[in-house]
Amino acid sequence: MAGSRHEEAAAPRVGVLALQGDFREHLAVLTALGAVAVPVRRPDELAAVSGLVIPGGESTVMDKLSRTFGMAEPLRAAVDAGLPVYGTCAGLIMLADRVVDGPASQHLTGQRTIGGLDVAVRRNAFGGQNESFETDLLVPVVGVPPVHAVFIRAPVVAEVGPLATAIGVLDDGRVVAVEQGNLLGTSFHPEVTGELRFHARFLDKARAWSSR
């Protein structure tokens, strides 16, 4: 038993929600950082990990699939229990408590988020695919050099509640990275640029969770 706990602390078993989106890229980054990274599509797979990444993709589709696969309530319960979760782009939307510009058909589809992050997000705040851009971003909690951030149909954090902390802000003041306890969210995609520090920070939280 002691040996298995030591192995978990050294190489935590973490998951990437693999219902939709760029989950393969996250699996590759986490594996490169020494984690045991597995795709998660079912509640029993979620119960077997010490942390979860929710990837970029399409948040409305991700929401529908999470309910179809019986994952919505287990995901909410895991967040409520304190499981470390890192959401990028659509994953940030899924973690947000509030979405200020849901789709026009939201009242028909009943789109919901997992919640947990005390923020409000605005979907596709930077425009469509053609408005994707890159910039260097100072994020003091991950140190230097600046983060080279890629924004692809990205959301923005429109409001930061008292429980959350803005950790990454563009020159114009828009918040694009937040943290709240075991939850971490970025509007951008570190997994596509070779930026490892956010995943490493997430893994630190997963190690602490597994050894609690």
By annotation, the residues acting in catalysis are 89, 189, 191
Question: In this structure, what DSSP letter does residue 95 have?
Answer: H
Inter-residue contact 141 to 179 (CB < 8 Å): yes
Strand 96-99 to strand 117-122: parallel, antiparallel, or no bridges (unpaired)? parallel
Residue from 20, 178, 182 nearest 90 by CA: 20
For the beta carbon of residue 100, count every other beta carbon within 10 angstroms. Answer: 14
**Residue 1 three-state SS:** coil
Q: How far is CA 87 from CA 3, 111, 114, 203, 206, in A?
A: 31, 18, 11, 13, 14
The Cα–Cα gap between 70 and 96 comes to 20
How far lies 195's CA from each of 86, 187, 198, in Å? 14, 14, 7
Q: What is the DSSP string of 24-92?
A: HHHHHHHHHTT-EEEEE-SHHHHTT-S-EEE-SS-HHHHHHHHHHTT-HHHHHHHHHHT--EEEETHHH
